[in-house]
Chains A and B, each alone.
Chain A
Amino acid sequence: DAGVTQSPTHLIKTRGQQVTLRCSPKSGHDTVSWYQQALGQGPQFIFQYYEEEERQRGNFPDRFSGHQFPNYSSELNVNALLLGDSALYLCASSYTNYGYTFGSGTRLTVV
């Protein structure tokens, strides 16, 4: 049984560019949450998707947007990248917000 799959694993982008990160949830899970983790910090909540709609959102600017597809997979998009967006981006899936399972993350470096 595959867990949560994230792609790509690493990414280098230039300031001002746009990036799309992808996440496939664990089988049987219907909710996807995205987190940003800076070095030495705990994960910070970006937003959560359920039934293809954004259900909750953390304190992140509108440059961060997302989408959930009918098969429950999800994308995180970040526009107008800043150096401060460099971080590990974690995707987690759950069944109706219960019992989170995390992926291995995407390491984004903005230069």
Chain B
Amino acid sequence: KQEVTQIPAALSVPEGENLVLNCSFTDSAIYNLQWFRQDPGKGLTSLLLIQSSQREQTSGRLNASLDKSSGRSTLYIAASQPGDSATYLCAVLSGGNTPLVFGKGTRLSVIA
């Protein structure tokens, strides 16, 4: 059974700092991995999707990497802004008809 862990559970940084969020998964036989953003009480917004054959994906100030063999992914946020404050969720699809499995998320606060 796939399990996803996100560390740290919460993070507070000053504006302008570069930061890294971590995600680990127990079964390395994955199909793809997605990073989502969730604002309080709201739905999920997809940030980046990495296929199992890819090593990284970039969108603006966001860069996500994937190391399948070690069961890890990182989300790098450059030059953080107060508007980046949200919960970031990592989710893994193990292929076939298996569902998307989520971690508990990292709650990020960027202080102006």
- Which positions in A face B, CB cutoff 8 Å? 4, 6, 33, 35, 40-45, 48, 55-56, 58, 88, 90, 92, 97-105, 107
Return the chain B residue nearest A42 by Cβ: B102
- Which positions in B face A, CB cutoff 8 Å? 4, 32, 34, 36, 41-46, 49, 89, 91, 93, 96-105
Contacts A99-B49, A100-B34, A102-B36 hold; do A43 and B44 have CB atoms under 8 A apart?
yes
CA of A45 to CA of B4 in the docked complex: distance in angstroms? Answer: 13
| Sample (15) of A-B pairs whose CB atoms are under 8 Å apart | A33-B100, A42-B89, A44-B102, A45-B99, A56-B97, A58-B99, A90-B43, A92-B44, A92-B100, A97-B93, A98-B93, A99-B46, A101-B46, A102-B44, A102-B45
Q: Contact at B43–A100, with CB atoms within 8 Å?
A: no
Q: Contact at B34–A45, with CB atoms within 8 Å?
A: no
Return the chain B residue nearest A103 by Cβ: B43
Nearest-Cβ distance from residue B59 to partner chain A, whole angstroms: 14
Q: Which residues of A contact B104 (CB under 8 A)?
A: 40-42
Q: Contact at A48–B102, with CB atoms within 8 Å?
A: no
Contacts A88-B41, A107-B41 hold; do A102 and B46 have CB atoms under 8 A apart?
yes
CA of A103 to CA of B102 in the docked complex: distance in angstroms? Answer: 16
Contact residues of A: prevailing secondary structure: strand
Given contacts A42-B89, A97-B96, 13 further A-B contacts (CB under 8 A): A33-B99, A42-B4, A42-B104, A48-B97, A48-B99, A56-B98, A90-B43, A92-B100, A97-B93, A99-B46, A102-B43, A104-B42, A105-B41
CA of A101 to CA of B97 in the docked complex: distance in angstroms? Answer: 17
Return the chain B residue nearest A46 by Cβ: B99
Nearest-Cβ distance from residue A5 to partner chain B, whole angstroms: 11
Nearest-Cβ distance from residue A109 to partner chain B, whole angstroms: 12
